[in-house]
Amino acid sequence: DVKVTQSSRYLVKRTGEKVFLECVQDMDHENMFWYRQDPGLGLRLIYFSYDVKMKEKGDIPEGYSVSREKKERFSLILESASTNQTSMYLCASSSYLGGAEQYFGPGTRLTVT
Amino acid sequence: DQQVKQNSPSLSVQEGRISILNCDYTNSMFDYFLWYKKYPAEGPTFLISISSIKDKNEDGRFTVFLNKSAKHLSLHIVPSQPGDSAVYFCAASANTGNQFYFGTGTSLTVIP
């Protein structure tokens, strides 16, 4: 059974704090993704990675960075959290780019106050 | 600019009837399409996909239709069941590309 796990389901942080969101997959997938989901905007891609230590910007990378030191782990970093980063964050993985379904984690609801 | 659009934010259907969810796209390079289902407080789960070489793909109660000339796809659920109540996202990608583009989602409610 495929599994993508995220370190926290709910997180509350203060403006200006550095925030780490962790994602781990156990499917030996090459590709991992970070999305945010906001009402009326659907899922928007923040960053993705197709290999260890590789990363590509998605549609909304501003204010975020990522780290992929191991194949199974992909971290999203908010260097200085702001209230407009309050959102649902979803991690996903897939076995190859383009033509494969993505498996999603349960999401992290982040609130920045 | 939204490349994948779901113009109906919500849909209500009686149990046992057909649910039709629609999705439009603007990028003619898209050649692979997926539908995901999302329950509250859970991540999206893959439902069904279709490649541009086909115009229909069926999996049990779920059928996806693709009209390439109109840049339109639809998901049909027959018969609809209360457990189908969820938010449905369509997504598209180009094989030569590097990401999926998601629509804004349609919230389906199946009324018992």
Task: Cis check for the bond before B79: say yes or no (omega within 30 of 0).
Answer: yes
Amino acid B41: pLDDT? 82
pLDDT > 70 in chain A, percent? 96
| Beta strands, E only, B39-85 | 45-51, 56-59, 62-67, 72-77
Neighbours of A67 (CB within 10 A): 16
Q: What is the pLDDT of residues A75-109, one digit of tens each?
A: 999 999 999 999 999 999 988 755 578 899 999 99
What average pLDDT does this structure show over B82-92? 96
Interface test with A, best of B39, B57, B98 (most A CBs within 10 A): B98
Residues A110, B66: Cα–Cα separation, whole Å: 36
Q: Which of B99, B101, B104 to mutate to test the interface with A (most CBs of A within 10 A)?
A: B99
A78 vs A20: CA distance, rounded Å: 7
Q: With CB atoms and an 8 Å threshold, state whether B98 touches A104.
A: no
Q: Region of A4 please: left (phi>0), alpha (psi -120 to 50) or beta.
A: beta
Query: Cα–Cα distance between A14 and A99 in angstroms, integer?
Result: 39
Q: Give the residue-averaged pLDDT of A32-37.
A: 95
Q: Which of A89-98, B6-15, B102-111 has the lowest mean pLDDT?
A: A89-98
| Chain B residues in contact with A33 (beta carbon < 8 A) | 99
- Per DSSP, chain B holds a count of helices (H) and strands (E) of 0, 11
> Which of A89, A73, A76, A77 minimizes the C-alpha distance to A29?
A73
**In chain B, what residues touch A98 (CB-CB under 8 Å)?**
32, 93-98
Using an 8 Å CB-CB cutoff, list chain B residues near A4. 43
Based on C-alpha coordinates, what's the Rg of chain B?
13
Contact: B100, A45; criterion CB under 8 Å: yes
Instruction: Kindly give, in sequence order, each residue whose CB lies less than 8 Å from that of residue A55, ignoring residues fewer than 6 positions away.
Output: A47, A48, A49, A66, A68
In 3D space, the residue among A76, A94, A86 whose CA is nearest the CA of residue A112 turns out to be: A86
Structure confidence by residue, pLDDT tens digits, B15-55: 999 999 999 999 999 999 999 999 988 899 999 999 999 99
